[in-house]
């Protein structure tokens, strides 16, 4: 084994270091005081040229070498072993004596081995199933169409996110491996007697490029999110109920089914602001052909879209990046060379959902432009303002399939997904530049957060999968996907029972995406009115959702501007170790805490209230640092806690099909002390807020033994009418200034 490589420092500046051993380069870039970048690659010994080509000085902050925030970096030049220390204790280190695959010592591709501490906890990696703590498991970093997956055990699912946060006895760190290739991340499943306990990353790349983050779990998540790009800010309407089902557009009378949906909303007086239009609208026979309108089902698409727009509902049409060999445009696209190709230039053909077909090559500028044109002409010009980018895992594993520039397509799958989403995003932006685009994407690497929201894909209908989708959702949140949700009720399987449907709705109430979607085995559609006798309960949850939309929107703004997740496990914000024993709870923003029921027949929930804050439940006050068990039947509204010392905007208008908004500012008083909150309001649709066209309320609250005093300072140009409400367990005198 070629076990010893002595590295010599070849280049140093305030923000980077370069070490070389013969033709192996190892570079360290200091991105921020909480983030470094490590790149290991092969190249000629040309002093600093190898790393200078990365423009490291131009793109990095001018921090001192080794100047990390509270962390000391030590470099062993024998085999280039990095060690990180906090308060004099080892946080983690490259595994000795060899951590990297310099000269194929471990086989092909790149490897990175690092130390593992017994009892450490690991969070992240995208939409991975199982418990929140991923330690001790091994995962494939890849995307796949996993319809009906097992939320506890199936792997991989739909996302490609080689990022995780590790917490051990010394502190926390995060690692992001910057690759689009299929990879393996082993978090302690493998054991070898010749080494201390370790975990590792492996891919078939020729260059190893990774980032290390330091700080608290929240700081690490924020630092990672700032690195990979700001989350797209969804329009306000997207936080209301959005309908969907496969059954309606698959039906021969699809237009009548969709009209019936509008009638049902009016009948049951339910608010709805969006509808995910499944791909049956594109069908030719039993095959789905993207951008093809089935005029037998929809004789007048423009009128159909207009009818939904007049009802206040945005249609979100399903589009897929693949073309079946029977698609009317297939031969034209093949002749132009716009598909992923075989080495001989012919289209690469693979198995798709309905038949054989080929993927559009979004690396080809002409194919990219074609997609934008189709989105515009077939959808946006007819009145649509959103896209649902589906089936975009680009399931290409053949190493001979290549893109327009000759690269292996199997190594670029997340990049192809990103480019597809980008083409849709650009089409929407160019068509209506004043509007913030709304896109949903099923697959992708972390970069798609810049463009779209996502969801957990084609989940299964069961109580077990409800629980594990809860964990998958929080795992996505801890991976940087803040705008997410699930197919409420379950997508694949049987119609959910009355109890299961309601438990799904109670859970989905507090997640960013609130959508029921199904493809039930018996052809039925899971809908809010699937059980007539449950409609009062369904309507109560839906009314809660609309009531919370101003708070959701405030949380969304903070997600975009401050990189704060909308949903989080309690331990992201609290050092109280008791929080870890209650994984079935979560936070919405910082101020709402909910526990859920995931077991059939159970009628009570137990929430742990973290130390350091007081909490309100239905107006009753509870001190933090205790577990509270309370009634939570399935056939009723959801119950949740609100943090004392918080300011929540809500919509108190009477709930209904097309009700307006009546803004209320709710203040939850604390025992003693001062707190304040800045609330954000804009038009909910455009980018005008970036130019200052918005209104902000600074609400300051002082609580003493005898009274609660509220001071409000308003600035901005958006007209705002609101009432104020103080919830105070001490029932003190209230003063407003």
Residues 302-312 have a mean pLDDT of 98
Residue 677 CA to residue 699 CA, distance in Å, equals 5
Residue 478 CA to residue 314 CA, distance in Å, equals 29
Q: Is residue 56 pLDDT above 60, yes or no?
A: no
Residue 634 CA to residue 500 CA, distance in Å, equals 8
Q: Is residue 292 pLDDT above 60, yes or no?
A: yes
Short-list 335, 519, 297, 520, CA closest to 289: 297
Residues 232-250 have a mean pLDDT of 98
Residues 51-70 have a mean pLDDT of 44
Residue 502 CA to residue 2 CA, distance in Å, equals 61
Residues 192-204 have a mean pLDDT of 97
Q: Return all residues near 693 (Cβ < 8 A) that are at least 6 apart.
A: 682, 683, 716, 717, 718
Q: Which band of pLDDT confidence, cut at 50, 70 and 90, is reported for residue 4?
A: confident
At 581 the three-state DSSP class reads helix
Q: Is residue 591 pLDDT above 90, yes or no?
A: yes
Q: Which helix (H) or strand (E) holds 173?
A: strand 172-177
Measure CA 227 to chain center.
15
* DSSP code per residue over 16-59: EEEEEETTEEEEEEEEETTEEEEEEEE----TTHHHHTTTHHHH
Q: Is residue 50 pLDDT above 50, yes or no?
A: no
- Counting runs of H as helices and runs of E as strands, what totals does the chain give? 12, 47
Burial of 138 (C-beta count, 10 Å sphere; 0-12/13-18/19+)? middle
Q: Which band of pLDDT confidence, cut at 50, 70 and 90, is reported for residue 53?
A: very low
Q: Please state whether the peptide bond connecting residue 156 to the residue before it is cis, i.e. omega within 30 degrees of 0.
A: yes
Mean pLDDT for the chain?
95
Residues 294-316 have a mean pLDDT of 98
What the block records as the tokens of 341 is 């190709």
Tallying the residues shown for the chain, one arrives at: 737
To the nearest whole percent, how much of the chain has pLDDT over 90? 94
The runs of H, that is alpha helices, within 251-379 are: 254-268, 301-310, 330-336, 365-378
The runs of H, that is alpha helices, within 311-443 are: 330-336, 365-378, 413-431
Q: Return all residues near 172 (Cβ < 8 A) that are at least 6 apart.
A: 165, 166, 214, 215, 216, 217, 220
Q: Is residue 147 pLDDT above 80, yes or no?
A: yes
Q: Is residue 85 pLDDT above 60, yes or no?
A: yes
For the chain, what is the radius of gyration of the CA atoms? 27
At 620 the three-state DSSP class reads strand
Bridge partners (DSSP) of residue 710 are 701, 736
Q: Are 385 and 442 in contact (CB under 8 A)?
A: no
For the stretch 361-417, pLDDT in tens is 999 999 999 999 999 999 999 999 999 999 999 999 999 999 999 999 999 999 999
The runs of H, that is alpha helices, within 534-677 are: 535-562
What the block records as the tokens of 361 is 């090559």
Alpha-carbon dihedral sign for residues 375, 376, 382, 383: positive
- The phi and psi torsions of 697 (rounded to 5 degrees) equal -110, 120
Short-list 203, 207, 197, 199, CA closest to 173: 199
Q: Name the pairing type of β-strands 314-319 and 274-277.
A: parallel
Residue 605 CA to residue 406 CA, distance in Å, equals 56
Q: Is residue 441 pLDDT above 90, yes or no?
A: yes
Bridge partners (DSSP) of residue 172 are 167
**Taking the CB of residue 53, how many other CB atoms lie within 10 A of it?**
10
At 192 the three-state DSSP class reads coil
Q: Which band of pLDDT confidence, cut at 50, 70 and 90, is reported for residue 58?
A: very low
Q: Is residue 733 pLDDT above 50, yes or no?
A: yes
To the nearest whole percent, how much of the chain has pLDDT over 70? 96
pLDDT of residue 67: 61
Bridge partners (DSSP) of residue 166 are 122, 173
**Taking the CB of residue 674, how many other CB atoms lie within 10 A of it?**
12
Rounded to two decimals, what is the model's pTM? 0.96
pLDDT of residue 49: 39
Q: Is residue 59 pLDDT above 90, yes or no?
A: no
Q: Which band of pLDDT confidence, cut at 50, 70 and 90, is reported for residue 47?
A: very low
Q: Which band of pLDDT confidence, cut at 50, 70 and 90, is reported for residue 457?
A: very high
Q: Which band of pLDDT confidence, cut at 50, 70 and 90, is reported for residue 66?
A: very low
Alpha-carbon dihedral sign for residues 424, 429, 432, 438: positive
Q: Which band of pLDDT confidence, cut at 50, 70 and 90, is reported for residue 69?
A: confident
Short-list 517, 468, 464, CA closest to 489: 517
Residues 306-327 have a mean pLDDT of 98
pLDDT of residue 2: 61
At 196 the three-state DSSP class reads coil
């Amino acid at each position: 084994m070629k076990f010893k490589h002595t590295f010599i420092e070849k280049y140093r500046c305030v923000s980077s270091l370069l070490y070389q051993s013969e033709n192996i380069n190892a570079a360290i870039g200091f991105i921020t005081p909480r983030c470094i970048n490590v790149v290991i690659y092969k190249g000629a010994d040309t002093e600093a040229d190898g790393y200078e080509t990365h423009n490291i000085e131009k793109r990095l902050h001018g921090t001192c070498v080794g100047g990390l925030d509270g962390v000391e970096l030590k470099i062993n030049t024998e085999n280039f072993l990095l060690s990180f220390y906090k308060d004099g204790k080892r946080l983690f280190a490259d595994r000795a004596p060899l951590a990297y695959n310099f000269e194929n010592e471990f086989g092909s591709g790149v490897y990175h081995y690092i130390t593992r501490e017994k009892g450490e906890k690991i969070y992240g990696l995208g939409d991975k199933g199982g418990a929140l703590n991923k330690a001790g498991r091994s995962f494939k970093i890849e995307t796949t169409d996993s319809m009906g997956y097992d939320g506890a055990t199936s792997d991989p699912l739909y996302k490609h996110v080689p990022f995780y946060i590790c917490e051990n006895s010394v502190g926390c760190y995060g690692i992001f491996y910057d690759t689009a290739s299929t990879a393996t991340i082993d978090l302690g499943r493998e054991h070898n007697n010749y080494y201390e306990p370790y975990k590792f990353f492996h891919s078939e790349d020729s260059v190893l490029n990774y980032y290390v983050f330091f700080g608290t779990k929240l700081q690490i998540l924020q630092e990672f999110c700032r690195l990979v790009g700001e989350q797209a800010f969804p329009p306000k309407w997207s936080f209301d109920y959005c309908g969907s089902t496969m059954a309606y557009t698959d039906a021969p009378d699809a237009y009548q089914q969709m009209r019936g949906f509008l009638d049902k909303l009016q009948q049951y007086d339910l608010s709805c602001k969006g509808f995910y239009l499944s791909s049956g609208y594109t069908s030719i026979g039993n095959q789905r052909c993207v951008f093809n309108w089935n005029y037998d089902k929809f004789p007048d698409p423009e009128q159909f879209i207009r009818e939904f727009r007049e009802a206040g509902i945005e249609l979100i049409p399903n589009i897929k990046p693949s073309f079946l060999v029977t698609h009317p445009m297939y031969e034209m696209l093949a002749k132009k060379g716009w598909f992923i190709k075989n080495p001989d230039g012919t289209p690469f053909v693979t198995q798709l959902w309905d038949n054989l077909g080929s993927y559009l090559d979004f690396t080809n500028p002409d194919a990219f432009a074609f997609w934008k044109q189709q989105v515009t002409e077939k959808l946006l010009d007819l009145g649509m303002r959103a896209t649902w980018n589906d089936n975009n895992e680009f399931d290409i594993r053949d190493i001979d399939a290549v893109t327009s520039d000759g690269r292996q397509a199997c190594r670029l799958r997340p990049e192809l997904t990103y480019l597809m989403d980008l083409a849709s995003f650009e089409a929407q932006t160019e068509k209506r530049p004043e509007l913030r685009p709304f896109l949903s994407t099923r697959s992708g690497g972390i970069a798609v957060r810049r463009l779209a929201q996502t969801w957990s894909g084609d989940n299964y209908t069961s109580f077990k999968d409800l629980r594990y989708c809860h964990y998958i959702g929080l795992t996505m949140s801890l991976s940087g996907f803040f705008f997410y949700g699930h197919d409420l009720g379950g997508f694949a399987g049987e119609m959910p029972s009355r109890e299961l449907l309601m438990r799904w709705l109670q859970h989905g109430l507090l997640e960013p995406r609130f959508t029921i979607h199904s493809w039930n085995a018996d052809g039925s559609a899971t809908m809010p009115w699937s059980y007539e006798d449950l409609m009062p309960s369904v309507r109560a949850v839906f009314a809660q959702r609309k009531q919370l939309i101003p708070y959701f929107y405030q949380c969304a703004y903070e997600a975009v501007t401050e990189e704060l997740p909308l949903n989080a496990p309690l331990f992201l914000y609290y050092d109280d170790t008791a929080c870890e024993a209650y994984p079935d709870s979560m936070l919405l923003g910082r101020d709402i805490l909910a526990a859920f029921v995931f077991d059939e027949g159970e009628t009570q929930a137990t929430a742990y209230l973290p130390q350091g804050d007081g909490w309100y439940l239905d107006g009753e006050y509870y001190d933090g640092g205790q577990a509270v068990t309370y009634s939570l039947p399935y056939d009723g509204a959801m119950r949740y806690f609100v943090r004392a010392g918080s300011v929540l905007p809500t919509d108190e208008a009477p709930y209904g099909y097309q009700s307006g908004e009546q803004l209320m500012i709710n203040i939850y008083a604390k025992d003693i002390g001062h707190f304040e909150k800045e609330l954000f309001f804009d038009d909910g649709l455009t980018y005008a807020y970036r130019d200052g066209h918005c209104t902000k309320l600074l609400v300051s609250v002082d609580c003493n033994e005898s009274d609660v005093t509220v001071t409000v300072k308003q600035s901005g140009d958006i007209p705002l009418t609101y009432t104020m409400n103080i919830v105070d367990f001490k029932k003190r005198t209230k003063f407003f200034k």
